[in-house]
Structure 1
């Protein structure tokens, strides 16, 4: 049984190294909690001690060590948090507070007053919020909460595109469209089209005379849980959504790479550490979780114990991260919020 378990895990774990992010059906195996890539080999290694046959025990142990090493980078563990004194340096005066959060249908399932209190308590300079919408009669629905939002955040600039809302204490100098949503800036375009095509909201703000770009992101989820896995429609949705996800990722990566400003890319990516979809961003920009004190920065999951990291923040262009923490919003959302303290590196010439 142990031999079959080792072989079965190898047949599951190893193909993902090559198929994740490239072959759409692998979006489904990718749903496994990333920590399994460490936990399963470790459990099987412990069971190997009971194998009486020395030769069999040796090859099973060797195979599991290989699987453990192959999965270590996919498990979502922040190894730096285990090293004493490995945290980021102190933040300079004037560092920016940023809060990024999937609100879970805004305040439509909550007490609006509690919702706004939670947001104000973050006291952020920039808010990157997703799911400015409602879920009614089995579909996403447009809402109008901007008057209440502006009343709750006087002095903030409010930028909205589709389901994405960005608030900034600083002046907004540009909101360049990114990706498939470029043709939907016109407010005459139906809301559903704006919602489906706008999954990246770029907002350039003026911070003490220096432009910093904030990308507010919500990559579409890869499956429709309302459909039966036994139906053809279930897999058609996965295939079609994979193409949409790839289009948004490619546009985001191209825009961010060409951006000359310090930048922060943050939001709900519906993508785990084990998935290859994030390889482009991880290769081009810095993961803000390296500034976290948590060895397992997980942000989503049913119940009190999240098992998946779906919410990410990346920085580039010299933007430094001095603090990264995941905040439990209680009953307001099933996603934890990302709280950051960041600052641009000094401009060339000492400015």
Structure 2
């Protein structure tokens, strides 16, 4: 960097760090955090969802079998009290969280108030914009897979389709494809009775407000042998107003709300007025339309003819707006940066004429 001066930079571990993870991906989300956090030299504490804790025990078994020293990876189970303890403990230097936006904001505020680094991912209301020139078959299948995969219980579920102008042939095929979706084969159950009641409440409310129910999953027949599960079938609502709860709230279930609009400009307005900013997608065969949406959408992850636009490493995962509290993303290069501190070393060594220092 100058005559006789060198500057080097290293990434140093923070010490003890923690992750708080949700029920819906009990192995994948912890594995966004654990490998990066411990590889860069930290000890890691995981607080899994109290609804799905078993996967993390398996992760612990595999890490021990691989030779990870005791104490490098740790699990604490519990609910609110444990989360608060993690946020407050002075020896925990960083906290990563994935869950609802309401709790993400609380965890972020409490952790940072205690001097911790925090990155907290919240909810989503991802929009898929469908235009008339979209490929009918792949778009219909993409809309269905994105909205109904994991029974809609994922932050990357695109739960709103913004139909621009006349896209009825695509919607018609979507409905036909959806009729063939089988519970227990194409889609699992809702995680709990409380969640099922909350989701069906949104459907009931939308119906009362005037939504047309193209497919109603409230009375779906459970698969044989699993009658006691919390089942809800594919549900598609048409004619939804952008301001209705079914269009604005994260339902977190197999419910797709279709909003009708005449222009691409209005479609973008609907998308960008949404409080979240996790992901957005457009289905089109026009490069110009794709470019317009990808440049204008207020979201951290954009799909072009892809309904679940999850980036793969080295690209990082993360949204904007009310979908994320904190700086950076949780995977890829951003993940390494989150779990480390930068150390910069600037050095200058005066030349020596002492004979004993000469080695060549």
TM-score, normalized by length of structure 2? 0.26
TM-score (norm 1): 0.27
Find the structure with the greater CA-based Rg.
2
